[in-house]
Amino acid sequence: MKRKIILPILFLSISFLLAFVADPSEISFVNQNFSASEKQLTKLLDTANQIDSLYPRTTNSEGKVVFTNMYEWTSGFFAGSLWYGYEGTQNQNLKNEAIKWTEKLEPLKNFTEHHDLGFMVYCSYGNAYRLTKNEKYKDILVQSAKSLSTRFSEKTGVIKSWDRFGSWDGKGRYDFPVIIDNMMNLELLFFASKVTGDDRYRKIALSHAENTMKHQIRDDFSSYHVVCYDSQTGKVLSRETAQGYANNSTWSRGQSWGIYGFTMTYRESQDPRYLNVATKMADYYINHEDLPSDYVAYWDFNANQKGYTPSVRSKAKEMPTNYRDASAAAVTASALLELSTFKGVDAKKYRDAGVKILKSLSGAAYFAKYGTNGGFLLRHSVGSIAHGVEIDVPLVYADYYYLEALNRYKKILAGV
């Protein structure tokens, strides 16, 4: 009798899984959006190649593309988007352009002036090495990890984000600020240890993750944006925000950086503490009472709410509109889809939430019509309302994480 009961249940479970994996409508969804992204990326390429030495980031008030130099934190996302576009479509022109736009970033391997080297180099060269196995790219990644490691302090146990930070109230001045975004740069360090056998990069990454977990995550698993340390003693001096609504609020993209960063750290460490933080931070996002029905979060979970007050110099107090942030949603979607692949989690919950975000971003409300939006894929992202910049605009990193999420969903559908 037991065999008769167990086998049908097992058969139904396998059938359900196969039905999900092989669902032709889902495969069609992925392919259609890669096709649309391919066309739009090509449009942005036409503009970018006229400039050549600068890197697309957003658009201005006239809808024209705004470029930055390679030393801005966003410089690697365009090449990374081209790599993801190539991966999803096998368009050889996208691959050729990805190589070109990646290799122009080589001088960054020796850059040490801020923590964003992981974004700048791993999103470009990391994808380049993953898809080509070119040994030259590996060497550049390892040198970049060495450069990033120079910002690590044994006293604080973390990697310094910026060289200085001034509080929005005009009073605090700190020389060892760490932002939640920094979790995203640890993947470069884990990579360097794996390919060199030198464990020091991994140890730095784990030290940073552990101290971020201790000092930057609240009891409800929301996150502080900025934690300032005493560089001499390692003591935490303040917990604040730079881009969120208020010091005690939860900046949505900061929350997404945390979900993604701790998900990645669990993948690399298999330490269940990081899986716990990742899932609890994800739950905060997807269960939040103010999360819109399409799962594309407002720019801050607590903006304009009672009990949350921007500091006197922040421009957030002048912004009554609750803008959506497609970039936060794209990062979260990608993180949730990876989180859903781990044992011991509610895989369906995180996969369904990730797919829901991905489908929202692929809809007409967010995905730009061909030839519009400066050539960027997604509309309605927010850079920093507190600074009064990049409000309700396309952002290159929103596109990058959208394409990463699309590739991750494609692999889930293929059972990879």
Hey, which residues are catalytic here? Answer: 116, 181
Q: What is the DSSP letter of 170?
A: S
Go through the chain and tell me how many residues it has.
Answer: 416
Q: Are 326 and 378 in contact (CB under 8 A)?
A: yes
Q: Which residues pair with 65 in a beta bridge?
A: 59
Q: Report strand pairing: 65-68 vs 55-59.
A: antiparallel
The pair of structure tokens assigned to 337 is 């889809």
At 384 the three-state DSSP class reads: strand
DSSP per-residue string spanning 111-146: --SSSTHIIIIIIIIIHHHHHH--HHHHHHHHHHHH
Residues near 17 by beta carbon (within 8 Å), at least 6 away in sequence: none
Closest CA to 37 of 74, 83, 76: 83
∠ CA 89-95-96 to the nearest 5 degrees?
145
The pair of structure tokens assigned to 326 is 């497609």
Closest CA to 358 of 288, 407, 394, 393: 407
Q: Report strand pairing: 152-153 vs 177-179.
A: unpaired
Residue 414, judged by CB atoms within 10 A of its CB (0-12, 13-18, 19+), counts as: exposed
∠ CA 163-188-106 to the nearest 5 degrees?
80
Strands in 202-260 per DSSP E: 226-229, 236-240
Q: How far apart are CA 274 and CA 265, in angstroms?
A: 7
Q: How far apart are CA 242 and CA 58, in angstroms?
A: 20
Q: How far apart are CA 224 and CA 183, in angstroms?
A: 13
